[in-house]
Amino acid sequence: MDKQQAEGKINELKQQLEDYGYHYYVLDQPKVPDAEYDRLLQDLVQLEEQFPELASEDSPTMRIGGAPASAFKKVAHRVPMMSLSNAFSADDLRSFDRRVRQAVGDDVSYVCELKFDGLAVSLTYENGLLVRGATRGDGTTGEEITGNLRTVPSIPLRLKKPVSIEVRGEAYMPKQSFEKLNEVREEAGEEKFANPRNAAAGSLRQLDPKIAAKRNLAMFAYSIGELSGKTLTTHYQGLSFLDELGFKVSKEATTCQTIDEVISFTEKWVENRHELPYEIDGIVIKVNSLEQHEALGFTAKSPRWATAFKFPAEEVVTTLHDIELNVGRTGVVTPTAILEPVVVAGTTVKRASLHNEDLIREKDVKLGDTVIVKKAGDIIPEIVGVLTEKRTGDEIDFHMPTECPECSSQLDRIEGEVALRCLNPKCPAQIREGLIHFVSRNAMNIDGLGEKVISQLFSHELIADVADLYTLNRDELLQLERMGEKSVDNLLDALQTSKENSLERLLFGLGIRFVGAKAAKTLAIEFDTMDKLRQASANELINVNEIGEKMADSIASYFEKPEVDELLGKLKKANVNMHYTGVKPTENDVKVNSPFSGKTIVLTGKLHHWNRKEAQEKIEALGGTVTGSVSKKTDLVIAGEDAGSKQKKAESLGIDIWTEEQFVQTMEDLD
């Protein structure tokens, strides 16, 4: 076969395979048996290997997976991928509807869509050809994962029309694929994925696209970010256009003329969601008119023309067999319930936190009890109650120990705290958990040092503190279970790279009590070097913005310990950086880039995370103005517990209202 004949045959095979793939993965209407599709694909692979100059980016062979990437590049989204505000009840949905109608009038319709539980992605096409795929990231910047997204069969490599467009969608793992993947991982002795969402995200963040290609992922397209050469007037038109282009679009999306219809739609899927072959965790409600989108605009974090109705937590009944005790890095002893395995919100739950002894007493939990379990936010399992009427008399009271389960030291309850704490600084559990914290993503971010590897290093007595990580050598690491030459080389490279981290990462990684990531950065910017910080007194520390008395005392006490002096000496000897290397923001920079800049804000109700004065200071430091009354000039109301007339007035005026949780999350996102 000459080149011209090969080109004709390749084009013919590409067209056939695209058509078969579209019918199989998008329409769920297979046209040929799997074996026939595989045979044609192999023919195409062989032809492209014989004539590599004829291979193209839109070839179905790209779905097999290309060469591994060395790292993911950062991608700036031209149109931010914003998060949505949440609604948890019919009343919340009516409040959303009221705010919309007050802003744009009563001529409003909505589109209701399933909220897919996966990984939000952005796809960019130029003249119909896929040129880039990225994760949502923080909404402004994501990671380019084009190679991995090309392997997802329901993502078109070439559109049915040669348009230039940016499409948003949710990549997910069907339930059946998830179950098969976990079976394979279990047989291989690998840790199983907790749920399909984690499996999808983990698959698409593999550096080797061939791994993603084997995971049987899919994607639903749900919106258009940018579009050239075509004008749309409604969101539903956009969904129809995506369908015309060859995307997999949910057939469940529905237009609703009233908020009552919206509520009926949510009630339907609360009951029926587990019948779907994929996971959903709510319903997305969007104003249909794109002109009204423009009129409604955005808050600092989310569009005012959309909200996400979150499903109520599913509750199930199971048996509590035992209570296990775990010692954290700060010495807190946490009881964990060991349960008869039960499926909650789509995943199997075997354990649930009981938090502390007071909660066990309050809920009257006994070993052998029949308990009600739910997932807070459909994520964290917790015991919400006991079915005391199911008791047989064989149940056993549980009592917290007086000694640490790891080191047998006496446990103490510090005044004002509910938790029991081991105060032994040599407690192996605390050291091990401290090591795991030190290497974590928000601290020193050392790839390859997961919990299992840390536990191995610790049990083999290769490390006793965080500084010992930097003395590990190749021969020692190769002796560990499942540590091959490539893994060891990558780990040593990651350790070397981490030495260059800016001071705030090291500070956070040291695990000083009360010092989170935000405070660590504040301290690093203020003092610039570890030596200057160590010399600061508690009084000097209190004068630093956002450093309170408890934190200042904790920091000062930490640096007075001789073992800390020894540890920092070892880290210095290992050439770990102890200077702040980031850019120091000016006061003006902080204010200009703040979501509160130039805004008039009212605080109402009882706040728990900060008191009213602290919250006001934080807002004003970010360029906002806090006033005491709600008026038409108010831009935002932050409503705490038992918010009363001010919240009602804000609702009547259509003013944006945040919960305290939204406010705290926004402040944390600014760190």
Strand partners, 606: 641
Name the residue type at position 419: A
Residues counted in the chain: 671
Tokens 């934080």 locate to 618
Q: Specify whether the CB–CB gap between 537 and 472 falls below 8 A.
A: no
Strand partners, 170: 120, 220
Listed in sequence order, the residues at least 6 apart from 639 whose beta carbon sits closer than 8 Å to its beta carbon are: 604, 605, 646, 647, 650, 657, 658, 659, 660
How far are the Cα atoms of 259, 297, 417 from residue 256, in angstroms, in the given order? 7, 21, 50
Name the residue type at position 536: A
Cα–Cα distance between 289 and 119 in angstroms, integer? 26
Q: Angle at which helices 196-204 and 175-187 pack, to 10 degrees? A: 80
The catalytic site residues sit at 115
Structure tokens at 502: 């800016």
Cα–Cα distance between 430 and 242 in angstroms, integer? 53
Cα–Cα distance between 68 and 213 in angstroms, integer? 12
Report residue 467 CA to chain centroid gap. Answer: 30
What is the DSSP annotation of 79-111? S-----EEE-SHHHHHHHHHHHHHHH-S---EE
Strand partners, 344: 347
Name the residue type at position 23: H
Q: Specify whether the CB–CB gap between 249 and 241 falls below 8 A.
A: no
3-state secondary structure of 158: strand
Exposure of 626 in the CB half-sphere (CA atoms within 13 A) = 14
